[in-house]
A and B are shown apart, each in its own frame.
Chain A
């Protein structure tokens, strides 16, 4: 009489719910549930749509943090201020020092047109940079781990008056920190979306179970095991979550694809899209939604069935 309860592996069960034939005998024991079906489809679709953006944000900010971190850490700038007559000589002194600095790459003085391009956002186009006391800028790629920015700064300060080393750390740190926090926020958003989806599917499943109290009592009376009854509900909700999430994911991916690309406008927001293999990641959202639907409904069903002997 007593039989050992065999719990099928969750993944096996999930796959079976998704590929099993809808409307089969197992499913037919539960009456059609129009409202909860629509609720589950809609909520899964909406959550998947939002999840695409949260994922996109997390990936983009991750890329941004990495890029800012590596690009800015990969070079330093030396700013040389001096009267016009002495500027070239001091720049040459700096370049000489940089050539002998361990870990330093090939230093390069920025030509006037590049300096003008840097100033253009503030002064507008066609600004006569020559007429301004603009310091000379030397870009120094960092090529080795033995590069010592603090030592170089002290040496420049001592040997070339008006030469200042800027290793970008002052503004790099908060930017990288902000990007990293945005990435964490994106991940937290994904988790919240998953939790909210689970809550909504659980509510919908509980509503369906409560509305079918008589069905459940009849099934128990004729010898149905809990898992048999639960499976009929689980299959429906798993499918609905997967279908709704698939539609929401495709809509979200289409919306992300329609964002302006980086080259068209530049700036932070235009980098929100997926890149390369990253486009495959949103396709995991319907799978995750099906998993959430499966686990949430199964938990709700088995919990509610405990109340029916």
Chain B
């Protein structure tokens, strides 16, 4: 799915933030990526959806070399990788339902209204279908972003600190949705520094926990 071999990355003019990254995201697995703030969790996720390019090493997505992807190739990759950010952005002039259906709209696929209703029901946002994004709460925005991320039935779902702005109850609701996704066969990678969230997930699903430390990736121990 996503494979990194000895990948290094540093922002322009700076030393490598990540180095020697070797990682294979296994299909159907639930992954957590943890580490202190500024350790490079978000950067690693951005590498996974080709928002950044590695400075060194090799990286492939679905068998394609990510360093040679053209712009259309990147767009097609992102249709197979759903992304949920800590502060998800929407098109504020469109109602929630249209925002959720946006990946289908831009990929030219007909929107199945029934499937869209089901999806909004799954994230418990049916009653907000016509609401504009600025009127939604943080938790609602996160669930809307998750719905948008999965509407094209991607192979991989990336979530970057998805519960960072949510209270515990709302975090658990979002976690449940991610676990359901994983149980339906999707590969999930969640970047978080919230160890309680990881523990709560591991109680329900077999999850692989990766930790970034000193710019390198480690498999976290059983302490989690």
Chain B: minimal CB distance from A146 (Å):
69
Q: Whose C-beta in chain A lies nearest to the C-beta of B62?
A: A1
B residues less than 8 Å from A223 (CB atoms): 75-79, 103, 106-107, 152
Contact B78 A2 (CB under 8 A): no
Which of A5, A219, A306, A309 sits near B106, CB closer than 8 Å?
A: A219
Contact B105 A29 (CB under 8 A): yes
B69, B98, B102, B106 — most chain A CB neighbours (10 Å): B106
Contact B75 A2 (CB under 8 A): no
Bound form: Cα–Cα A236–B86 in Å:
33
Q: Whose C-beta in chain B lies nearest to the C-beta of A24?
A: B105
Which of B52, B73, B90, B103 sits near A2, CB closer than 8 Å?
A: B73
Q: Whose C-beta in chain B lies nearest to the C-beta of A25?
A: B105
A residues less than 8 Å from B90 (CB atoms): 218
A residues less than 8 Å from B78 (CB atoms): 220-223
Does B94 make an interface contact (CB < 8 A)? yes
Does B64 make an interface contact (CB < 8 A)? yes
Q: Whose C-beta in chain A lies nearest to the C-beta of B75?
A: A225
Does A217 make an interface contact (CB < 8 A)? yes
Q: Whose C-beta in chain A lies nearest to the C-beta of B71?
A: A226
Which of A26, A31, A306 sits near B93, CB closer than 8 Å?
A: A31
Q: Whose C-beta in chain B lies nearest to the C-beta of A219?
A: B106
Bound form: Cα–Cα A218–B61 in Å:
21
Bound form: Cα–Cα A309–B78 in Å:
11
Contact B103 A217 (CB under 8 A): no
Does A28 make an interface contact (CB < 8 A)? yes
Chain B: minimal CB distance from A235 (Å):
14
Contact A218 B93 (CB under 8 A): no
Chain A: minimal CB distance from B190 (Å):
18
Known: A29-B91, A221-B78, A223-B106. A5 touches B72 (CB 8 A): yes
Which of A26, A31, A221 sits near B83, CB closer than 8 Å?
A: A221
Contact A309 B51 (CB under 8 A): yes
Known: A1-B64, A2-B64, A29-B105. A226 touches B72 (CB 8 A): yes
Does B124 make an interface contact (CB < 8 A)? no
A residues less than 8 Å from B108 (CB atoms): 228
Contact A222 B102 (CB under 8 A): yes
Bound form: Cα–Cα A32–B106 in Å:
18
Bound form: Cα–Cα A2–B92 in Å:
31
Bound form: Cα–Cα A223–B81 in Å:
9
Q: Could you tell me which residues of chain A, from 1 to 34, have a CB within 8 Å of some CB in chain B?
A: 1-3, 5, 25-26, 28-29, 31-32
Does B89 make an interface contact (CB < 8 A)? yes
Bound form: Cα–Cα A228–B76 in Å:
12
Bound form: Cα–Cα A2–B90 in Å:
27
Contact A222 B61 (CB under 8 A): no
Contact A214 B89 (CB under 8 A): yes
Q: Digit string of A28-45 for contact with B (CB within 8 Å is 1, else 0)?
A: 110110000000000000
A residues less than 8 Å from B83 (CB atoms): 221
Contact B69 A1 (CB under 8 A): yes
Does A215 make an interface contact (CB < 8 A)? yes
Contact A218 B74 (CB under 8 A): no
Does A224 make an interface contact (CB < 8 A)? yes
B residues less than 8 Å from A222 (CB atoms): 78-79, 102-103, 106, 148
Q: Whose C-beta in chain A lies nearest to the C-beta of B89?
A: A218
Bound form: Cα–Cα A247–B165 in Å:
52
B residues less than 8 Å from A28 (CB atoms): 94, 98
Known: A28-B98, A29-B91, A31-B91. A220 touches B75 (CB 8 A): yes
A residues less than 8 Å from B112 (CB atoms): none
Bound form: Cα–Cα A217–B52 in Å:
14
Q: Whose C-beta in chain B lies nearest to the C-beta of A217?
A: B89
Known: A214-B89, A215-B91, A222-B78. A29 touches B102 (CB 8 A): yes
Which of B51, B75, B89, B148 sits near A224, CB closer than 8 Å?
A: B75
Bound form: Cα–Cα A219–B106 in Å:
8
Contact B89 A225 (CB under 8 A): no
A residues less than 8 Å from B152 (CB atoms): 223
Known: A222-B102, A222-B103, A309-B50. A1 touches B77 (CB 8 A): yes
**Could you list 5 further interchain pairs (A-B, Cβ under 8 angstroms) beyond the known A1-B63, A221-B51, A221-B89?**
A3-B72, A3-B76, A214-B89, A217-B89, A218-B89
Q: Interface residues, chain A, CB within 8 Å of chain B?
A: 1-3, 5, 25-26, 28-29, 31-32, 214-215, 217-226, 228-229, 305-306, 309
- Interface pairs (11), CB distance under 8 Å: A1-B69, A1-B76, A5-B72, A29-B102, A221-B49, A222-B79, A223-B75, A225-B71, A305-B71, A309-B51, A309-B52
